A and B are shown apart, each in its own frame.
Chain A
Amino acid sequence: MFDYEQYLRKSKMPLIWCAGCGDGIVMKAMLRAIHKLQIAKDDICMVSGIGCSSRLPGYLDFNTLHTTHGRAITFATGIKMVKPELHVIVITGDGDATAIGGNHFIHAARRNIDLTVILFNNHIYGMTGGQVSPTTPFTKHASTAPYGNIENPFDISGLAAAAGASFVARATAYNAIQLEKLIQKAIEKKGFSVVEAMTPCPTTYGRRNREGTGVDMLLYQKDNSVPVAKANKMDAEELQGKIVTGVLVDREKAECRQEYQNLLDHFSKEGEVDS
């Protein structure tokens, strides 16, 4: 039995999110992962940008920072550099992280700084009423794509992997147990870690694309998820519309804050700088 309420700022409840929004399912998976790792509340700093998903840290009793649109990763980078002992967890949406914040996202991955990014991919700008986002699939509808999206979407996990992240995984709100395990691994990993959490937005995406309620959208995830090992044996056509889940990247490489520490230690030994 797990007591979620020990982590909640109960005075802020109930959650602002719509009925059937998947964000709360991802939030609970994350809390179970944090609890399994037995991380003290004060040792976590949770940083978000702007969006429905970015409202999340406000409900939790950690050190929390609600920043500006697209900049969560930059604030988090600063925090990690100054307070490396903290587990810095970034909560961000597909718009927040890969549209306005896209450059920060790829450069944090390139640096491989030890942050855990939980990226809520709902294929849309939820908070502002359903504008097209960099992950809105080709031909899908949005308020700014009334005839269907004419652009190709980002594959966020692929982007993180190509930019240099040391850990990349994807899971769905439907498979909340897998999501919990992957978030746990991502927090444990020293290096830039991304969990792409696929989460239904029934209000601004589902309705416009006739994908039904939150329940219907979770059932869609159930029926269309493919574990990465199986996906590796499928061709591009077979993978159309599928959600590939599991650990996509897990590799060791130099981590930015540790390299900085090595420099500090080196020069403080030589007496050249005070650390």
Chain B
Amino acid sequence: MKTTSKVKKPRIEINKEWCKGCAICVEFCPQSVLEMRDGIVHVRDLDACTACQLCEIRCPDFAIHVIDEDK
């Protein structure tokens, strides 16, 4: 049966060694989940994340990874 409620929240992994702080992921996240702090990206509001992957698709540095257990 198809359920509409999410079982698990997505996880967002950030590779701090690879992130160059370009803020592309922050700009193109439709839910304002991410923010820049000290030159690299941080998760600001995980609850708002829909696991759409738009941040990951546009991160040029392979530094952000969204893991959605439901998908």
Ranked nearest first, the 3 interchain pairs of A and B with the lowest CB-CB distance are A24-B60, A19-B20, A20-B22
- Identify the interface centre among B21, B24, B28, B67: most chain A CB within 10 Å of its CB: B24
Q: How far is the CB of A258 from chain B (nearest CB, A)?
A: 35
Contact check, A215 vs B62: say whether CB atoms are below 8 A apart.
no
Q: Does A28 contact B (CB under 8 A)?
A: yes
> Looking across the interface, which residue of chain A has its beta carbon closest to that of B10?
A1
A59 CB → nearest B CB, Å: 9
Smallest beta-carbon distance B14→chain A, Å: 13
Bound-state CA distance A67–B17 (Å) is 29
Query: 29 interchain pairs (CB within 8 A)?
Result: A1-B66, A13-B18, A14-B20, A15-B60, A15-B62, A17-B60, A18-B20, A19-B20, A19-B21, A20-B20, A20-B22, A20-B23, A20-B24, A24-B60, A24-B62, A25-B58, A27-B60, A28-B57, A28-B59, A28-B62, A174-B58, A177-B57, A213-B22, A213-B23, A214-B22, A215-B23, A215-B24, A218-B27, A219-B27
Query: B45 interface residue, CB < 8 Å from A?
Result: no
Contacts across chains A and B counted by CB atoms under 8 Å:
65
Residues of A1-42 at the interface with B, using a CB-CB cut-off of 8 Å, are 1, 4-5, 8, 13-15, 17-25, 27-29
User: Which of B22, B28, B58, B66 contacts A19 (CB under 8 A)?
Assistant: B22
B-side interface residues toward A, CB under 8 Å? Answer: 17-18, 20-24, 27-28, 57-62, 66-68, 71
Interface size on A, residues (CB 8 A): 28
Show the binding face of A for B, using Cβ within 8 Å.
1, 4-5, 8, 13-15, 17-25, 27-29, 173-174, 176-177, 213-215, 218-219
**Closest residue of chain A to B23, judged by CB?**
A215
Residues in B whose Cβ lies below 8 Å from that of A14: 17-18, 20, 61
**CB nearest to B21 among chain A residues:** A19
